Amino acid sequence: MTALSTLVGDVDEFFSGYLGRTALHRPGAASELPNLISVEDIDRVLTGSALRTPGVRIAKDGAVIPADRYVSKSTLGYADLGDVVDPVKAVRLFRGGATIVLGTVNLLLPHLHELCKDIETDLGHPVDANVYAAPPHARAFEVHCDAQDIIIVQIHGGKRWELFDAIVPNPGGGKVLTDLGASSSLYELREGDVLYVPRGMPHLVRTADSSSIHLTISINTMTWADLLRGMTQEILRSDAFAGALPLGRDVAERVAPMVGKYAGLLSAALIDRATPDSVHRIIYGRTAFADGLGTGLFRQALLDEPIALSDPISLRPGTWPVFTGDGRLTTGPGGLRLPREIAETCRRLHDGPLKVAELSPAPEEALKIADTLVKLGLCTTGS
């Protein structure tokens, strides 16, 4: 059972019946994910991590509180910093009715980062996590909709979610809405409950008599516009579109009849480029997909334990190598290009772990491939 199936139930049913369409409430589902995130984790992040804005936002009654009310001057080594969150000021605002939002907190908590990478593997889209800590009788934001599908996990206390039966197409992040004229449904979340909210579904969130902490897992879906824009940008860098427009006072008039010709060239190039490898490169070449789960990478280097042919080898969770048309692959933000045999091994490992001995008929070559993949941070070995 994967993390996603634990949260939403049958994944195929979730994709076909709920994703992008309607809400899903699963009472107690998160209780099957032990050590998800604790109050102690959140306290440690907020009070002991030297957080800087915009990693923290604080809001109350529909308004975001200016950062200068909860940051203080600080130093990091010899560097003077002016945007470090002061935990005393932040907690004072919390006591005064404000909600504290910790952004992309998965990057600060390894076990939560692993959860997000696990979910990414099932979804094929980047995933991150925010934490919302609210005092009793709090309302951080007005009725709004999000640009992402979100999975809510209630960590502490309770929270009331009012979801409106109207999906806003092409929603902007945090878009505030008025005069909805739509019916709504109320969901009272308790610890361990899970609530899925489709992107574009308006909602209002409040606490009652108790404080609350909930985790928002955001699914940062790529749109058709994103894909076509990426493919088009690649095409427009080619020589076919590098020529200058005509010169003269009547440039617009002379160019207008020629646009159809170049639009046709662009359309044909898009169709010709729509191969699995090319589309894979655009989708998984984004920054959010550049690196897999790095936990244990330093320990692996420090201990430098030898790799055995009998060891299992697998891709790190969240690793999506970008394959090129020549059979090789590019991976990581630096655009590192790797040999054909490495690319082929990564293709095979997408289907699941293998034994190191299965990487090549020649034992020395198998060990060399495994060693390269481990040192590049693409794979892990051992149980």
What residue spans define the domains of the chain? Answer: 3-219, 224-274, 289-381
* pLDDT(338) > 90: no
DSSP 274-299: --HHHHHHHHHTSGGGS----TTHHH
What pTM was estimated for this model as a whole?
0.85
Residue reference for tokens 């690319």: 343
Top pLDDT among 310 and 1 is at 310
Q: Compute the average pLDDT of residues 152-167.
A: 95
- Percent of the chain exceeding pLDDT 70 equals 92
Q: What is the per-residue pLDDT for 121? A: 83
Model confidence at 330, pLDDT cuts 50, 70, 90, reads low
| 232-250 residue pLDDT tens | 998 999 999 999 999 988 9
Name the token pair of 71.
């940051």
CB-CB contact of 131 with 211 (8 Å): no
What pLDDT sits at residue 6?
96
Q: What is the pLDDT of residues 343-358, one digit of tens each?
A: 788 888 988 899 999 9
pLDDT of 102 higher than 90:
yes
Q: Is the pLDDT of residue 336 over 70?
A: no
> Between these two residues, 77 and 226, which has the higher pLDDT value?
226
Residue 331 has pLDDT above 80, yes or no: no
Tens digits of per-residue pLDDT, 41-71?
999 999 988 888 989 999 999 999 999 999 9
The residue ranking higher by pLDDT, 354 or 78, is 354
- Residue 241 is predicted with a pLDDT of 93
Would you state the pLDDT for residue 254?
92
Tell me which CATH code domain 3-219 carries.
2.60.120.650
pLDDT at 339: 77
Confidence of residue 325 (pLDDT cuts 50, 70, 90): low
Q: How far apart are CA 286 and CA 378, in angstroms?
A: 16
Which pLDDT belongs to residue 205? 96
| Mean of pLDDT over the chain | 89
Summarize the confidence of residues 259-263 as an average pLDDT: 94
Confidence of residue 78 (pLDDT cuts 50, 70, 90): confident
In this prediction, residue 171 has a pLDDT band, given cuts at 50, 70 and 90, of confident
Kindly state the helix (H) or strand (E) to which residue 234 belongs, with its residue range. helix 224-236
Give the per-residue pLDDT at 289: 61
Q: Quote the pLDDT of residue 86.
A: 93
The pLDDT of 112-119, averaged and rounded, is: 90
Nearest to 108 by CA among 170, 188, 51: 51
Residue predicted with more confidence, 342 or 252? 252
Greater confidence (222 vs 199) lies with: 199
Task: Using alpha carbons only, give the angle 341, 346, 348 rounded to the nearest 5 degrees.
Answer: 95
Nearest to 373 by CA among 287, 272, 300, 303: 300
Alpha-carbon span 238 to 221, nearest angstrom: 28
Q: How far apart are CA 217 and CA 227, in angstroms?
A: 23
Q: Is the pLDDT of residue 276 over 60?
A: yes
